[in-house]
Amino acid sequence: MNTSIVTVESSTAINIDDLPDRIDAAIDTAIAEQRLVGAVVLLSLDGKLVYRRAAGFADREANREMREDTLFRLASVSKLYVSIAAMVLVAKGRLALDEPIDTWLTDFHPKLADGSAVRITLRHLLTHTSGLGYGFLESADGPYHCAGVSDGMDRSDISLEENIRRIASVPLLFRPGTAWNYSLATDVAGGLIARVTGIPLPEAVRELVTKPLGIDDTGFTVADPARLAVPYVNEASGPRRMADSEIVPLWEGVEGLRLSPARAFDTNAFPSGGAGMIGMAGDTLCILETLRRGGAPLLPAELVSEMATDHAAGMDLAPWPGRGFGLGFTILRDPAAAGFAETPGTWRMGGAYGHSWSVDFANRLSLVAFTNAGLDGQSPGGRFPEDLTRAVYSAR
C-alpha cells in the first residue's frame, strides 16, 4: 500500500516539491536490495502529516502486507515513553531530577569497582550517565551475564524487581555523572516509576502518557496479535525470519543482542522500560508531536526544553559520533561527524527491531520509520535512517 501525500505548503527549510518521490525512492531501494521487508514511514511538517506510507510486508511468508496500523516490537523506542512518564512525575512534583533514586528504590545501591558508594539520580538514569551498562555491549562472560541480568528483549522468568536487584549487584563502570554509556538505566527508571506510583509500570505509563493522548494500541502487551509485524534478521542472502531466540551480532568483542520475538506474547515477561513495549508508528508520531509543540497536556514547555538539552556535553557517545544526549534521546551536535544531514539539535533514537525516529525542532519536523528488518532500520547507525534523512533534507 502506498498512500504518500503532501497536504501543506511548508514554511520550513525543507524542500517539499518532490518530497514524496524522494522518500518513496529510499523505501523502494531498501526493499529492492532486500535490506527491508516492510516499513511504515510517517513525516509531519508544521504539524501537518505530509507523508505517510506502509510498504512491503508485515509477514512475508504469509503474504500479509504492511499497514499503517501494523504493530511492532518497539525495543529502545520504549525509552521515549518511559522517559516521558518519569518527566510527568517530575512535573507533578512526585519526583525530582537530582534526587537520589534510593529514596524510593531503597535496595538499589550499586557501587564502584573499588566498593565505593555513589549517588545516582533520575537525571543520571535518563541521560545514561549513571555508570550502568548493557549485557549486549559486553562479552558473553561479562558481569551482567554472570549476574543473570536481562536486557529486556529475551525470554526471562524473573520480575522487574529481581532484574533491578541483579543490576545493582554489578559494579558500576564509572562514577555517575562523569561519563556516558548506553545502558539499562531506563529499566531502572521504570522500576522507579512503578515504586513512586504504587502501580505496575504498564499501568503507570498508560495513566501518565498514553491515556491522556488517547493512545490505545501502544503498551507492554500486544493490542491485536493479528496486526503484529514479523521480525527478520538481515543476512548476506537477504532478510531471514527471526527465530524464537536469536543472538544478533554487533561487533567484535561483544556478545550481541539477545532477541526473543515470542517475548511479546509472554504474559509473565517483566515490563522492560528500556525495550519491552509494542505499538504503532502513528502513536509514536503523536508522542513526538506532543513534545515538539510544547508538551501539553503531558509536560510544561520548560521540561520539554530540559529533555532536549545535551546533558552529556564533553562526553564521548561511541558508537554514536557527533551526538549528545538529553533526557531520553540523542541530540545532534555535529551533522558531519554523525553522518546525518540534519539540523544541529535534532532529537533522534531508534530500536533494535528496526526503527528510527527524529524531531527537528528548528524545522518543525517529526519523522517516524518503523521496519521489521533488524539493525538496518536502527538509528543512529543504520543505513535506512541515513537514506531517509538524505531524502528528506536533499535540495533544501
> What are the cell numbers at 74?
518497539
List 112's β-bridge partners, or say none: 172
- Is the per-residue pLDDT at 135 higher than 60? yes
- CB count within 10 Å of CB 211 equals 12
Q: Cβ-count burial of 116 within 10 angstroms (0-12 exposed, 13-18 middle, 19+ buried)?
A: exposed
Specify the pTM.
Answer: 0.94
The whole-number average pLDDT for the span 18-29 is: 94
Q: Which helix (H) or strand (E) holds 51?
A: strand 48-59
DSSP code of residue 359: E
Average pLDDT of the residues of the chain: 92
- pLDDT value, residue 145: 95
Which sign, positive or negative, has the C-alpha torsion 203, 205, 211, 212?
positive
Listed residue (382, 322, 324, 323) closest to 351, CA to CA: 382
CA 394 – CA 396 distance, rounded (Å): 6
Q: Which residues are catalytic?
A: 76
Q: Which residue has the higher pLDDT, 318 or 296?
A: 296
Q: Is 140 exposed, middle or buried (0-12, 13-18, 19+ CB in 10 A)?
A: exposed
Per-residue pLDDT tens over the stretch 210-234: 999 999 999 999 999 999 999 998 8
* Contact indicator for 307, 331 with CB cutoff of 8 Å: no
Distance CA 141, CA 286 (A): 41
One-letter amino acid for residue 362 of the chain: A
Distances (CA, A) of 260 to 154, 267, 320: 5, 14, 25
Could you tell me the pLDDT band of residue 113, with boundaries at 50, 70 and 90? very high
Crossing angle for the helix pair 160-168 and 185-197, to the nearest 10 degrees: 130
